[in-house]
Structure 1
Amino acid sequence: MKEEILRYLIENKNTFISGEKISKKLNISRVAVWKYITALKEEGFVIDSVPNKGYMLVNNPIELHPLEIKKSLSTDFIGNNVYYFDSLDSTSKKAKEYYEENGAVVISEEQTQGKGRLGRAWCSPKYKGLWFSIVLTPKIEPQYAPKISHIAAAAVIKSLTEIGFKDVKCKWPNDILIKDKKVCGILTELSAELNMINYIIIGIGINVNLDKEDIPDDLKDKAFSLKLASGEEVNRKSLLVHILNNLEPLYKDFEDNMDIKSSLEICRKHSAVIGKEVYIINKGVSEKVEVMDIDSEGELIIKDCHGEIKSIISGEVSVRGLNGYI
């Protein structure tokens, strides 16, 4: 019942709602309403109480509260269920518990065992970033699953540009960069049988409001944050809502029509590697190549040192720039 009162206050934020109106809506006594309001105040919610006016929610202390997020979404299914945690070892690990809930979103204020590609550790300090995972249950064959990485990358790129960031680039296909430093990593995990997908977990980690001291010394030349890039704090809820709202139509195009054209156009336009010489690292072997394009299947087209044109499948290699991270 406390959550129902909170939901009602959030829906009418900055507007006074009388205790009588709340009690009638929820079929409880006005004394019960007062007790629940008191409990919410003790949890840190700032609620004005004025005689003959009622109650008004002034401030929600949890920036990423599920009710706040769901209220702001324009999606059909992504974010219908949002699970919020103060701390988790990994949002992707937790998301697997909700594998039957298509579009479920798991958010944590910190990850104690966050992972990137190839099992690398991911620094996820508390209240500073967006650390979240999305559950998808597409009706597609497993070989098409790698395309989901491009869709997720496109959604993040589109969202960052919409909120005003410049020089946003995609380092094929999992890393999003600003000023050639990583601000976001995307990790897609698959559970499948021979010819069907059980579920896909998209794990997204974004360095939103990290300060310089939050970034490990060995990553300062590679990692960045949106706050360091812009010089000011970024609203995490607004960015998350942008990403979820942008992800759904791109994903629907793919699931319904096997079409990732829109996603690839975004990734190509913001590519950090097309037209550059890079090192392709595959199973510890490094090869210098020139990146030509990303093809219609999302594969990286390269020209090797012998002039031979090849395609690289998402996930089988790491890409490194000749003079550093990119």
Structure 2
Amino acid sequence: MKEKILEALKNSEDFISGEELSRRLGISRAAIWKHIKTIKDQGYKIESISKKGYKLEYSPDLLTYGEVRKYLETEEMGRNFLHYDSIDSTNVLAKKLAQEGAVHGTVILAEEQTSGRGRLGRAWVSPKSTGIWMTVILRPNISPFMASKLTLIGAAAVERAMEEVGIEAYIKWPNDIVLNSKKVCGILTEMSGEMDRVNYIVMGIGINVNTNSFPEEINSIATSLKLETGREVDRKLLVAGILNNFENLYNKFIIENNFNQVIDICRNKSVLLGKDVRLINGENIRKAKAIDIDDDGELIVEYEDGVLGKVLSGEISVRGLYGYV
């Protein structure tokens, strides 16, 4: 009901009376007043004048469904949209909800994460209302051995969405987005499945959007869209763009078995290809040159002895020889 009231206020250029809202929505004027108070508590500025009603003066930078949906072009992605002010981890909650039967395309998004995690259990800094911290629940009918391709679909969708808001970003295979050789986005894909089937996949996407600073220990490798472009970036547009692009690329892969566009994006926007890299597998480190990304999304490398090899997504960490990329 709160979302319906907010939508009515947004669609009205003038004041709208409590009586009119009550008539439209079929609830009492007292209930309207209580919902208005809750909306104000979220940061919306609403002018109230006796005998005239309510008028929306200002909308805060929030990533609620009501703020994002007007930009959504999807059928499934983000149509079940859960927004939280603060949460420990969107991936943790997504796995719980997936186990309880949450539908395909469900999005869990938080303004702040208190225990965000990246790959290999690394901490992910998620300051309040400055980034995009969201997880999408997926239920693909694919072999578990194909699940790693979804990470590349996620990376391609983020890159496309950033391009749509005027930002040229690059992909550090398989799950990071970088600007000026620093990490701006990480993707964490986790699967629950059996030998021959996927029960569900949760894909966490963390993006430093309007973050102004980072802890000293990661300052040399992490950045934000704002720091690199010098401007505030509309988080709502970016969330919707990611979901729109993801659904398009995901459906091509799942329905049409077409992975070509994803591979083209990952190749053309790769920050690794042609560079010397370190392949880190626990304490084992090997030097190689990143040569190509094959049609299955695996990284082709040439080792120092001239032998070619394939690196599977999620198998190891890839770093530049002299830095992050």
Give the structure-1-normalised TM-score.
0.93
Q: Structure 2: where are the runs of 5+ without partners? A: none
**More divergent stretch after superposition (261-270 vs 22-31):** 22-31
Instruction: Select 1:144's aligned residue among 136, 143, 146.
Output: 146
Q: Structure 1: where are the runs of 5+ without partners? A: none
Task: Report deviation, 1:62.
Answer: 5.1
Residue of structure 1 equivalent to 2:198: 197
Residue of structure 1 equivalent to 2:189: 188
| Contact preservation (8 Å) 1:14, 1:58 | no
- The percentage of aligned residue pairs carrying the same residue is 47
Distance 1:55 1:237 in 2: 25
Q: How does 1:1-326 map to 2 (within 5 A)?
A: 1-10=1-10, 12=11, 14-50=13-49, 54-61=53-60, 63-99=62-98, 100-166=102-168, 168-212=169-213, 215-326=214-325
Aligned Cα root-mean-square deviation (Å): 1.8
Cα pair distance change 1:116/1:13, threshold 3 Å: farther
| Contact preservation (8 Å) 2:108, 2:134 | yes
Q: Secondary structure at the match of 1:151?
A: helix
| Contact preservation (8 Å) 2:77, 2:247 | yes
Distance 2:41 2:316 in 1: 51
Cα pair distance change 1:143/1:232, threshold 3 Å: same
| Contact preservation (8 Å) 1:70, 1:82 | no
> How far does the alpha carbon of each residue in 1:82-138 deviate from its partner, in whole angstroms, 9 at most, with x for none?
111111111100112321321111111111111111111111111221111110111
Distance 2:62 2:271 in 1: 32
| Contact preservation (8 Å) 2:62, 2:111 | no
> How far does the alpha carbon of each residue in 1:148-187 deviate from its partner, in whole angstroms, 9 at most, with x for none?
0100000111111111113x11111011100010000001
Distance 2:223 2:39 in 1: 36
| Contact preservation (8 Å) 2:210, 2:226 | yes
Give the structure-2-normalised TM-score.
0.93
Cα pair distance change 1:137/1:13, threshold 3 Å: farther
Cα pair distance change 1:14/1:206, threshold 3 Å: farther
Cα pair distance change 1:308/1:50, threshold 3 Å: same
Q: Secondary structure at the match of 1:182?
A: strand
Q: Match for 2:155: what amino acid?
A: A
Q: Match for 2:315: what amino acid?
A: E
